[in-house]
Amino acid sequence: MLEVGAGDGVKFTCYPDSVHEIAVAETDPFLLQTVLMACKKGPVPVRTVAGDLTRIPSPNGAYDAVVCSLVLCTSPDLEKSLAELRRVLKPGGELRFYEHVRSTNVLAAAAERLVAPLWSQMRGGCHPGRDTLTAIESAGFVVDHVSQLSFHGVNHVLGVARTPHLTTM
């Protein structure tokens, strides 16, 4: 499994026993060191993959699952990033995601668009008004399950999407 943007590594304690290894792609050097220290104590071996959302140095179909948590908003090219995640997933592989998304409130969505340039510069490239769920579907993922929730007035989605299975003719 691959976790992109692992943050502080706290999510590693949530993985089931069926996960035998976690590859981590984290571009922030401080967070990468935090992740590596946090996972030394964990039951699952963790290895780093030098890459980011737009180029993951792994073969096609290398992972059964990819986890993205509050990281797709920072991609400089969301379409390219999702294509890359789809490339490294096996056919039928899972993309598990927790992301903030554009507000469904018209005024709040307008405010997100207005503050986006400055917000992005101050918040690690975050684009607050992205419609991430639509982008996931447009990238060819099949959404199995999604929950929409609000946290401190910001809309989020939590879900599972899959790459399509290969069909033979």
Domain layout of the chain by residue ranges? 2-162
What CATH homologous superfamily does 2-162 map to?
Answer: Vaccinia Virus protein VP39 (3.40.50.150)
Answer whether 0.75 is exceeded by the pTM.
yes
The predicted structure's pLDDT at residue 53: 83
Residue type, 108: A
Cβ partners under 8 Å of residue 21, min gap 6: 1, 44, 45, 46, 47
Q: Which residue has the higher pLDDT, 34 or 160?
A: 160
Structure confidence by residue, pLDDT tens digits, 38-92? 777 667 777 777 777 888 889 999 999 999 988 898 888 999 999 999 999 999 9
Cβ partners under 8 Å of residue 31, min gap 6: 6, 7, 8
What percent of the chain has pLDDT above 70?
A: 92
The predicted structure's pLDDT at residue 41: 67
Structure confidence by residue, pLDDT tens digits, 19-31? 888 888 877 777 7
Tokens describing residue 31: 């967070």
The predicted structure's pLDDT at residue 85: 96
